Amino acid sequence: MKITVCELPDRRKSFDAAWGDLVEHVRDENSDLVVLPDMPFSAWFASSDRFDRSVWAAAVHAHDEWEHRLRELSPAIVMASRPVDFGNERYDEGFLWEEPLGMLSVHAKSFLPDTKGAREGSWYDSATAEFIPLEVRGLRIAMLIGSEMWAPRGYDAETVDVLAIPRAGDMAELGDGLERACSLAQHTHAYAVSSNRSGTFGGQAWIISPEGQVLGTTSADQPFLSMEVALRATPGECRHFDVFAH
């Protein structure tokens, strides 16, 4: 299985150009799983603590409009998050997209920060904390969204093959995100794979082994990272991966 992570710009004109580059990269690499940043299809709006319904509606609309563009990454599975309305409530909802099934809800963000640049609690609701992996193509795939890496509870050990972590910046107040992701990979015995917004948001997507080893990261010069992992059975039906780095 080949996994692709990325860092993508927040500015919409720059994003459009970067998307074309990402599509080309995914096709060249024959990727099986692509992880995108947190709510990638709109500019980041949660830096303000004042909710603006028109801004929220525009972000929801942008993600709806971009849904058909996910086919450009097919046949890869795509994971990211999006803003959604659910009755009178609003959520940051993690999704998995796969042809021909389309969009599947994976997880809704339950741990919302209230720090400079991330006033998420002013924009959407905290979901009930549920951490249930989704099985796709024989893989147990799970998601944490951004600051949920620091939530007091999460996925249990040995229940996850791939832990996807879409991000929209990193909050220094919470600690070192890469170090925390290494601990989560060890705890879940999973590959921790994360994508982020670039520029002032910090960038640096990563792929981390189940042993907590950083296998690769992106940079401003190399915004895409693809790595092949081979699934194999081990005694006692416990599964893990061998890694082939590029």
Domain map (residue ranges) of the chain: 2-245
Determine the pLDDT at residue 15.
97
Mean pLDDT of 39-64: 97
The one-letter amino acid at 238: C
Mean pLDDT of 59-64: 98
Report whether 118 contacts 69 (CB < 8 A).
Answer: no
Secondary structure class of 239 (helix, strand, coil): strand
To the nearest whole number, what is the mean pLDDT of the chain? 90
Determine the pLDDT at residue 240.
38
The CATH number of 2-245 is 3.60.110.10
At CA 74, angle to CA 57 and CA 217, rounded to 5? 80
Closest CA to 163 of 107, 230, 235: 107
How many helices (H) does the chain have, and how many strands (E)? Answer: 3, 15
Digit-coded pLDDT (tens) for 149-173: 988 777 776 678 999 999 999 876 6
Please give the residue that has the higher pLDDT: either 157 or 216.
216
Report whether 23 contacts 73 (CB < 8 A).
Answer: yes
